[in-house]
Chain A
Amino acid sequence: GAVVSQHPSWVICKSGTSVKIECRSLDFQATTMFWYRQFPKQSLMLMATSNEGSKATYEQGVEKDKFLINHASLTLSTLTVTSAHPEDSSFYICSATHRGDTQYFGPGTRLTVL
């Protein structure tokens, strides 16, 4: 099946700093990428939908100025957590799809903000 990678797999940062997470589709062109967040013992919650070359669509309650999403190419989307705070500590997972086909998930990025 198709492969989606995420980098980094884990990151620890100080409060107030910004962190960038990359999501790449390795062997297919992803017309759409989704970003999810998962808190401990909770389900995956969709944060935003990102289509290549256009602005991301954010779910209700997700601050677009805090979680910057860029989908500049058909194989790469980035999520930048700006001015991170401890409450942003979570597991961030991206998924990618090509023209509405099966969603393929990345392995996730564990963010810890001190």
Chain B
Amino acid sequence: KQEVTQIPAALSVPEGENLVLNCSFTDSAIYNLQWFRQDPGKGLTSLLLIQSSQREQTSGRLNASLDKSSGRSTLYIAASQPGDSATYLCAPRGSGNTPLVFGKGTRLSVIA
């Protein structure tokens, strides 16, 4: 059964810093992996999706990498802003019509 761990659980940084969020998963036989953002009391916003054959994906200030063989993914946020404050969730997906499995997330606070 897939298990997902996200480190750190919480992170507080001053505005402008670059930061890295880590995600590890136990079953490397994944189809793809998604990073989501969740604001308090809200639903999920998909940030990046990396296919199993890809090494990284970029969207604006966000860059996600995937090392499938070692069961790791990182989300890099450049020049952080207070508006980036949220919980970031990592979710790998197995092959076929299987659901995403979520980590507990990293709660990010960017201080102005």
* Residues of chain A at the chain B interface (Cβ within 8 Å): 1, 31-32, 34, 36, 42-46, 49, 91, 93, 95, 97, 99-100, 102-103, 105-108, 110
Evaluate contact between A103 and B102: CB separation under 8 angstroms.
Answer: no
The 3 nearest A-B residue pairs measured at CB: A107-B43, A108-B43, A43-B104
Give the complex CA separation of A108 and B41 in angstroms.
9
Interface centre among A36, A43, A46 (most CB of B within 10 A): A43
Evaluate contact between B100 and A103: CB separation under 8 angstroms.
Answer: yes
Count contacts on B: residues with CB < 8 A to the other chain: 20
Return A49 CB to nearest CB of chain B, in Å. Answer: 6
Q: For residue B96, which residues in chain A have a CB less than 8 angstroms away from its CB?
A: 100
Partner pick for B99 among A1, A42, A49, CB 8 A cutoff: A49
**Also in contact, A105 and B44, with CB within 8 A (given A32-B97, A43-B89):** yes
Give the complex CA separation of A43 and B91 in angstroms.
10
Q: For residue B89, which residues in chain A have a CB less than 8 angstroms away from its CB?
A: 43-44
Evaluate contact between A103 and B105: CB separation under 8 angstroms.
Answer: no
Residue B49 lies at the interface, judged by CB distance under 8 Å to chain A: yes
Q: Mark B78-90, 1 if CB is under 8 A from A, else 0.
A: 0000000000010
